[in-house]
Amino acid sequence: MALLPPTSKSLKARLNNGETLYGLFLLSFSPTLAEISGHAGYDFVVVDMEHGYGGISEALSCLQALSATQTPAILRLPENSPLWAKKALDLGPDGLIFPLIEDPDSAKAAVSSCRYPPAGIRGNAHPVVRASKYGLDNDYLEKCERELLIICQVESEEAAKRARDIAAVDGVDCVMIGRSDLSASMGFIRDPGNKKVEEMTKAAESAVLGGGAAYLAGFPRPHDPLSEMKKRGVQHSLRWG
């Protein structure tokens, strides 16, 4: 059965309407800082469990604080794992970021982790978790998958070469080029602005835009300002906080 369109206020619907969204990466797991970030006016805030020090328990407090400010929350997972995805999804985020997506198969695995059977492998506890308002949201099963924003990070030279195929995977909503890890994989860990990294980044971005329905996401940097990224088609932009 085909999913219905996402509701107009969701991040996915706003991207579908042609908006460019701006977000903040939150490495702190302080609920107070999350609340301040929510009041700052960004379209969304990413709670970073990959490089931040916290896990599921700490992320919950941040999601509760962001919810109080009516700011959409995205969780970045430590790895592309069904276990991490299951626990994160039960908290009720508006999206997930999967790091280190190397090829279409790993992108398909990420999507599968976000889908209930038979379409995927997500564990079923929807009547008792926060995501469904602890069972009070009777429409949760009908809307959870169509509303969730699934973002795959391309962060290596080999993954960048497969960016078009990753973007074409059904269920992948955004592809983010992780330039820092990409530069490291190319031998330029101290020089992310290197010309070779820039060329690979732009080639991967073009491949994403030509690969299917996925949107392009990225991080503005001093050597790659937001104005230039927007010219290249980035619609989902984040900054570190």
Beta bridge partners of 95: 74, 149
Active site residue 51: yes
Task: Determine the pLDDT at residue 237.
Answer: 63
Do residues 118 and 197 touch, judged by C-beta distance below 8 A? no
Of 2-16, 30-44, 115-129, 131-145, minimum mean pLDDT range: 2-16
pLDDT digits (tens, 9 = 90+) for 118-133: 999 999 999 999 999 9
pLDDT at position 229 is: 86
Write down the mean pLDDT value for the chain: 93
Element (H, E) at 167: helix 163-167
CA proximity to 85, closest of 123, 58, 52: 123
pLDDT at residue number 241: 45
Single out the catalytic residue among 51, 126, 223, 236: 51
pLDDT number for residue 238: 57
pLDDT confidence band for 239 (50 / 70 / 90): low
d(CA 112, CA 147) in angstroms, rounded, equals 15
Query: Once rounded to an integer, what is the mean pLDDT over residues 20-36?
Result: 96
pTM above 0.75, yes or no: yes
pLDDT tens digits along 187-237? 999 999 999 999 999 999 999 998 778 999 998 888 888 888 888 888 766
- Give the DSSP letter string of 40-101: TT-SEEEEETTTSS--HHHHHHHHHHHHHTT--EEEE-SSS-HHHHHHHHTT--SEEEE---
Question: What pLDDT is recorded for position 234?
Answer: 85
pLDDT at residue number 8: 66
Retrieve residue 132's tokens. 């469904």
In the chain, the domains with their CATH numbers are 12-240 (3.20.20.60)
Residue-wise pLDDT for 169-188, tens only, equals 999 999 999 999 999 999 99
Quick one: pLDDT at residue 1? 41
